[in-house]
A = this chain, B = another copy of it.
Amino acid sequence: MPVYKAPTRDTRFVINEVLNLEQYAALPGFENATADMIDVVVEECGKFCSEVLAPLNLSGDQEGCTRHPDGSVTTPKGFKQAHAQFREAGWGTLSAPEEFGGQGMPHVLGMVAEEFTASANQAWGMYPGLTAGAISSILVKGSAEQQAKYLPKMIANEWLGTMNLTEPHCGTDLGLIRTRAVPQADGSYAITGTKIFISAGEHDLTENIIHLVLAKTPDAPDSTKGISLFIVPKVMVNDDGSLGVRNAVSCGSIEHKMGIHANSTCVMNYDGATGYLVGEENKGLAAMFIMMNAARLGVGIQGLSQAEAAYQNAVKYAQERRQGRALTGAAEPGEKADTLFVHPDIRRMLMDAKAYTEGMRALCLWGALQVDLVHKATAEEDRQMADDLVSLLTPVIKGYGTDKGFDTCVNMQQVFGGHGFIEEWGMSQFVRDCRITQIYEGANGVQAMDLVGRKLAQNGGRAVQALFALVDQECAEAKSKPELEKLAGQVEKANGDLKAATMWFMQNGMTNPNHVGAGAHHYMHMMGIVALGLMWLRMGEVAVAKLAAGTEDKAFYEAKLVTARYYGERFTPDAGALRRKLETGADALMALPVEAFATA
C-alpha cells in the first residue's frame, strides 16, 4: 500500500524561515501564529492526515461511491468516521473567521491543511475543500442573515457545501447556462435545471449540504451578465437553525471517472427547488469568481499534493528495489544488484520531482500569504502589491502547477516500471487523481487565457511589471553570493525571456489577438518557471544564511542548495524554448481549414 507522511519539516521551513511569518505578528490573525504555534499546527495536522486519511486513499479508490435507487449516496468505508474526526479536531476551521466559529488563523495555515489532506486523500479532501469555496462566497456576498444561518455550521463542517456551475452543454462558457430561477412570493426563488460534474453533490458525511447554484432569472440578459447565484440547501433550514423538509434537489446519477473515485461527482437535478439569492441579481458571476479564485489556488496545491505523495512512494521504491548496477561500478558489491537510486535516469526523475514539489510548496504558501496580506496588510501599497501578485499568479499556480504536478506523478509512476501500472501499488491512482486538477476549476487553457487576456493588461500591466521588478531585484541581490550566482543568472535570463514574450504579445496582439491566444499556454509555463525560480532563490538565500551562521540541520540546507542548483540547470532552459515557440505566433497554428484535420 502506498505511504504518505506529511512533509512537515519542509512546510515549517517555508513558513517560518522563507516567508518568515513572525514578521507579520502585528497584523490581525497573525498574532497567534508564532513559530511555535505553527510548528504544533503543522505537525498535528500532518499527523492526522498521514494516520487517518492516507490509509483510506487506495481503498476509497477501489470502492468508489455508491448511489442508491432513492438518490442517496454512500461514500467509501471509513470516510464518514474520518470526517467526524476531522470536524472534531477543527482542521476545517483553521483560517475561517472567528466571528463564525473559525480559528481566524492566517490563510497560509489553511493552505497547509489543504496540501496535507489532498496528499493523503484527494477525493476525501474535496468534501471539505469545496465547502471552503462555498463559505468564501457567502462571506463576501451573502446577507447578514444568510451568514448567520449557514456559515457557523459550514465552517464547523457540520454541513458541507458545493459549487454548481456546469451544465451538460456548457462548462467554460457560463453565459450559456439554462437553469432557471423564478421569483416566489416569499422572496425565495424556484430553481429548475440540471447541473453536472457536481463534486460532493450528494453523500452521507453530513445531514445537510448547502449548494451554491448559478441560474438565470426570467428576464435576465442572455449572457454572463445575466447570471445570479443562489443558496439551495439540500434540507431546508428553519429559522431556529433546525432542519426542516427536504428541498427539491436530488442526485440523478454519479459519474464513472478516471480518478477521484471516492468523491461523488453528481448530476444534480433541481426541480423547482427553493433557493435564496446571494448578493444582487445578475451579479452571480462575480460572486462565483470569489469562490473560483480561492478554489484555483486550492487546485494548484492539489497538483502539488499528488506529486508529493507520488514522490514519497517513488523514493521508497527506489531505495528498496534492486536492479542493475551503477554505471560507475557496483555500489553494493555484496548485493546481487544495486538499488534504483544509483541510476542517473531514476535520479533525474526524482530530482525533477524534488525541485518541483519544494519550489511549488513555497509558491503556494507564498500565494496564500498574499491572500492574507490583501486583507490584512497595514499599508495600502502592501495590500495592492499583494493583490496584484496573487491575482497575476493564481492562474499560473493552478495551470503550471497542475501541469507539472501531473508530469511529476507520471514520472514517479515510471520509477516503478511495470509495477507502476498495477493498481495495488497506488501509483496509477496518483496519476489518475491528479489528472482532474488540470481540468476542473477552469481547464488549464482557460487559466492561460485568464493570465494573458485579463491579468496581464489589468491596471496597465502594473502586476506583471511588479513581478519583473521583484525578480530582477532579487536576482541582482543573489548574484553577490557565490552559491547562488549561477541560479540568479539563470532566473534573470528566464525573466528576460518572459519580458520579451510580454513585449511580443503587446506588439502583435493588437493586429491579431490569436497571436496572444496561440502563445498563452507557453507564456503561463514561462511565468511558472520564473515564479518557481524566485522561490528557489529565496530558499537558497535562507540556506546560505543558515549554513553561514552554523546549524544543526546542515544536511537539510545543503540539500536546498543542491536542489536550487538543479532547478537552475534543468528547469530554466525551457523558458527560452517556450519563448521561441510563442514568438512564432498564430499563423501556422490557425491556418488550416477544419477539414484538414480529418485523417481518414
- Chain A contact residues, CB within 8 Å of chain B: 5-10, 46, 166, 169-173, 175-176, 196-197, 255-259, 308, 311-312, 315, 319, 322-324, 327-328, 336-337, 341, 343-351, 354, 357, 406, 410, 413-414, 417-418, 420-424, 428, 431-432, 435-436, 438-440, 443-445, 448-449, 453, 512-514, 516-518, 520-521, 555, 558-559, 562-563, 565-566, 569-570, 573-574, 576-578, 580-581, 584, 586, 588-600
Contact = CB atoms under 8 A, between A and B. Distances in A.
A101 B142 CA distance: 78
11 contacts: A46-B600, A176-B323, A197-B418, A327-B516, A328-B514, A344-B514, A351-B589, A431-B435, A562-B596, A563-B592, A570-B589
A435 B449 contact: no
B577 A589 contact: no
A314 to B, nearest CB: 9
Nearest to A337: B173
A357 B599 contact: yes
Given A327-B514, A337-B176, A562 B421 contact: no
User: Dominant SS at the A interface?
Assistant: helix
A351 B573 contact: no
B418 A258 contact: no
A415 to B, nearest CB: 9
Contacts of A46: 600
A205 B581 CA distance: 49
A322 B175 CA distance: 12
A552 to B, nearest CB: 15
Nearest to A352: B589
Given A172-B324, A435-B431, A346 B445 contact: yes
B600 A6 contact: yes
Given A345-B448, A345-B520, 20 more contacts: A5-B599, A9-B600, A46-B600, A171-B323, A171-B417, A175-B337, A196-B418, A257-B421, A257-B423, A344-B518, A347-B518, A347-B589, A413-B435, A420-B439, A421-B435, A431-B435, A562-B591, A563-B592, A576-B576, A577-B577
A5 B600 CA distance: 6
A131 to B, nearest CB: 20
B569 A584 contact: yes
B171 A345 contact: no
Contacts of A594: 319, 341
A430 to B, nearest CB: 11
Which 7 pairs show the lowest CB-CB distances between chains A and B? A344-B517, A5-B600, A569-B584, A258-B428, A577-B577, A345-B445, A7-B599
Contact of A590 (B322, B347, B521): B347
Given A258-B432, A347-B518, A428-B258, A599 B171 contact: no
